[in-house]
Amino acid sequence: MDNHMNIDVLSRFIEATDVSTFRSIVAKLLLPLIGLRDADYCDGPYDGGKDFSLATMPATGIRIGIQISVEKKWEPKIRNDAVKLKKNFNTNTMYFISSRRIPEGSYEKIKEEIFSQSGITINKYDNQAIASRLIENNKINEVFILMGIEEPVFSKKQQEYLSPKNEAVSSLLLFDENTKDLRQRFFKAIIMAVLSRSQDGLSRQDLFDKIEESFDIEKNQLVQINSNIDSLLQTRKITTYGNMIKLSENEKNKFLGLRKTTELELESLKSEFKIKITSLSEDIDFNTQNLLINNFLDLTIYLSGKSYSTYDNELKKNEKYKIIQEIISSRFGINKASKIFRELSEFFAASAFTKHIACAKLYDAFLNTKSSHLINALGGTESLNVYIDSSVFIPVVCGLLFEKVGNRSSQSAASLYNLIKTHKFNAIVPYDYMEEVASHIIEACRDYKHIIEEDIDLSHSGNAFVSHYSNYKKKNPDINFEEYVMVFNIRLKDISPDMPDSTFFSIRDKVTRELSSIASRYSFSTEKLTVDYLDKKIEAYKDFICNAGIERPDVLIRHDARVIEYLSGYYIPSKIVKLLCTWDKVHSMKNPDGKDGYYVMHPVAVIDYFSLAKGDGDSSVSHLLDFAMMQEEADLELSSKIWDIIARIENENLSDGQIFISAKKFKEQYMEKHANDERMAGSQVEKEWLAWRK
């Protein structure tokens, strides 16, 4: 697992130290931890500095060169020192200890070159390796002292964020073990994290109670906790004294180190936020800063939890969001509130501590999952097929063929494709959904060709091709829609509202073949799904959406029913985990907990689970970024949706200048009239437009 997220802050602190402080950290803390405690040292005479020492191991007499460096250009430094070591001391082992980050690939290449040329073996410790050792051995307080940093002090509210959950997740990511079952590893990490908070140990019952208090765990999962206690006793990671259970000394040091690191992350967040908010406004007092921090963290926890669904924009009623908005609006003005909220969301989403608590919340969902398969697949230890529907594939393919644009679907599509590109799962577009993609672009040509080049904003249209083109054209004004759709093997002149069905299907099939060919170039496969008893499945699915009060065309019902039957049936080997990635909330309603043999996730959840929950330090909290973009886009989305409905009703009529002008006036009037409505009903827009036209 990539564990950068858990050591990133301490690594940055190490990199920022001056040479004297770094030398003290290495000499007093690191060298004893890497087996050089008892060596005899003398300064190397060849460079006249204190950054080189020669250590003689007392048991063997072997001499080892130790080079300490804070230089950014580490490559020439390591080469030159290796040559001098061989020439002056005729020894073949050197430790190169750097306060910088040294990429593994670059280092391995140089290490091999030096060994082949001079026979010297280089052992490297960069800031991440040093941070990992210091955390594992609970040396964070000593680091604070050497760096002159006061131990952090947190409010009662902020203490709530520093729960054993953080250490449990950090342990899972940082200290890898030879087991493929991530869920069982997490249970073990939970047990040890809770025990690390108790100086004298806990009885088994008290341990159960503390775990229930700190983790969102169902009582039926305590059986798993019990068996993992026994497993940890066998490996001696925990021990018993009478009826008390205690953490072994080595494990206790690890978990205490993780706890101190998390505290450092929170303190860094507070310091960095002060700089950030002051750059936006100097009129934000200390208490207001803390209030914003606490509410952004609470908002992140909520967004990362199971109770929030990104399918529905219902969070404007959320207390934490309302508090943030009120503070921002009062300090920056209502007109700037949306922009400031997004900017601060981006800041928090990239923060190590925010990622840490979001990750802990994501892992909460794993605790009560009855199957380990999804968890292990997300962890890369089991095969995973991700089936992608049209709502997800369109922004992905548009971003690949042209470029990603600024809206939330395009941003998440780009992140999702980056996961596919690194071969973390098999990405499959069912053929039925590829037909839907083709139909969408035909509809874009049919309904929008008379208005898409006009001076109206369709950047948040419900038609994803229209939305992407409208955004893309803002930065690429020389392109026109006819050229845009030719990329998909479609001619704008061939599309008309009155074309016969046979023409529509012929064009759709041609475009579907082209899209499938394009998809294959970018590591997507297109599969025709064959299932039994499809008619019965269609009727059952039709009943489900009817009972849910949802209207849907028969062709889409047929497509969804086929995919659902295929994923829930026995058409795929049982060892492969199946995940449907979609923006369509109906699929989540149909199979919310994965009990039908497959799982449903929207792209934002897939991104966070695959990156954040695996400790990727370069990723941000996608749930928070997506929510911020959702709020910023709300008004623009309403405008585009009104045009969607008018375009569907009028299509060719919009070539008439008078009707087009009338439509623009209607849109402005409708938005003003319904400015305070929480939801927009398409039927209401249609009714009012038809009345307006008369």
What percentage of the chain reaches a pLDDT higher than 70? 86
Instruction: Pick the more confident residue, 379 or 330.
Output: 330
Average of per-residue pLDDT across 337-360: 88
Q: Tokens representing 662?
A: 């009338």
Q: Is residue 550 part of a domain?
A: no
| Residue 49 confidence class, pLDDT cut points 50, 70, 90 | very low
pLDDT, mean of residues 517-536 = 93
Q: In the prediction, which pLDDT does 3 show?
A: 46
Across 177-198, average pLDDT: 80
Would you state the pLDDT for residue 625?
Answer: 74
Task: Read off the pLDDT band of 408 (50, 70, 90).
Answer: confident
Find where tokens 């019965």 sit: 536
Cα(543)–Cα(537) distance, integer angstroms = 10
Pick the last residue of a domain from 147, 173, 208. 147
Of 51, 146, 61, the closest CA to residue 95 belongs to 51
Q: Is the pLDDT of residue 151 over 50?
A: yes
| pLDDT for the residue 303 | 84
User: Which residue would you say has higher pLDDT here, 313 or 75?
Assistant: 75
- CA 117 – CA 79 distance, rounded (Å): 11
In this structure, what CATH number is given to the domain that contains residue 88?
3.40.1350.10
pLDDT of 346 over the 70 cut? yes
pLDDT band at 614 (very low <50, low <70, confident <90, very high): low
Residue 458 has pLDDT above 60, yes or no: yes
Long-range Cβ contacts of 584-589 (<8 Å, 24+ apart): 584/311, 584/389, 584/391, 585/309, 585/311, 585/312, 586/545, 586/548, 586/550, 586/552, 586/560, 587/389, 587/560, 588/309, 588/311, 589/548
At residue 50, does pLDDT exceed 60?
no
Q: Are residues 103 and 157 in the same domain?
A: no
Q: How far is residue 509's CA from residue 532's CA, in Å, rounded to a whole number?
A: 24
Q: Which of 56-60, 170-174, 478-482 has the highest mean pLDDT?
A: 478-482
| From 272-276, 326-330, 501-505, 649-653, the region with the lowest mean pLDDT | 649-653
Tokens of residue 360, six digits = 């802990």
Per-residue CA distances from 264 to 10, 54, 242, 358, 441 (Å) = 8, 34, 36, 17, 51
- Look over the chain and give the mean of its residue pLDDT values, rounded to a whole number: 83
At residue 674, the pLDDT reads: 62
Any idea which of 55-64, 283-292, 496-505, 614-623 has the lowest mean pLDDT? 614-623
Q: When comparing pLDDT for 486 and 638, which is higher?
A: 486
Q: Give the per-residue pLDDT at 46.
A: 40
Is residue 643, in this structure, part of any structural domain at all?
no
Q: Residue 15's domain spans which residues?
A: 4-147
The answer to whether residues 51 and 175 belong to one domain is no
What tens digit of pLDDT does each residue of 238-294 get?
999 888 999 999 999 988 988 998 899 999 999 999 999 989 887 788 889 999 999
User: How much is the pLDDT for 502?
Assistant: 93
Q: How far apart are CA 176 and CA 198, in angstroms?
A: 24
Please tell me the predicted confidence (pLDDT) of residue 364: 73
Domain boundary among 368, 398, 417: 368
| Residues 359 and 253 reside in one and the same domain | yes
**Stretch among 232-236, 370-374, 596-600 having the lowest mean pLDDT:** 370-374
Q: Please check whether residues 395 and 327 belong to one and the same domain.
A: no
Of the residues 147, 164, 192, the one at which a domain ends: 147
Is there a domain that residue 676 lies in? no
Residue 157 shares a structural domain with residue 85: no
Number of domains making up the chain: 3
**439 has a pLDDT exceeding 90:** yes
For the residues 422-438, what does the mean pLDDT come to? 89
Q: For residue 437, tell me if it sits in a domain.
A: yes
Average pLDDT of the segment spanning 156-172: 86
Q: What single letter denotes the amino acid at residue 190? A: I
**What is the pLDDT at residue 679?**
58
CB-based burial label for 231 (10 Å; 0-12, 13-18, 19+): middle
Is 647 within a domain?
A: no
- When pLDDT is averaged across residues 152-167 and rounded to a whole number, the result is 88
pLDDT of 64 > 50? The answer is: yes
- pLDDT 10s digits, 628-650: 777 766 656 666 777 777 777 77
On whether both 106 and 132 belong to a single domain, the answer is yes
290 Ramachandran zone, left/alpha/beta (phi>0; psi -120 to 50): alpha
Instruction: Let me know whether 189 and 304 are in one domain.
Output: yes
Residues 86 and 36 in one domain: yes
407, 439: one domain = yes
Same-domain pairing of 202 and 349: yes
CA dist 410 and 415 (Å) reads 9
Q: What is the pLDDT of residue 45?
A: 41
634 in a structural domain = no
**Which pLDDT score is estimated for 130?**
93
Q: Is 414 inside any structural domain?
A: yes
Instruction: Tell me, yes or no, whether 416 and 281 share the same domain.
Output: no
- Shared domain check, 503 and 489: yes
pLDDT digits (tens, 9 = 90+) for 532-586: 989 999 999 999 999 988 888 999 999 999 999 999 998 988 788 888 999 888 9
Whether 399 has a pLDDT exceeding 60, the answer reads: yes
Indicate if the pLDDT at residue 428 is higher than 60: yes
565: in domain: no
Mean pLDDT, residues 661-671:
71
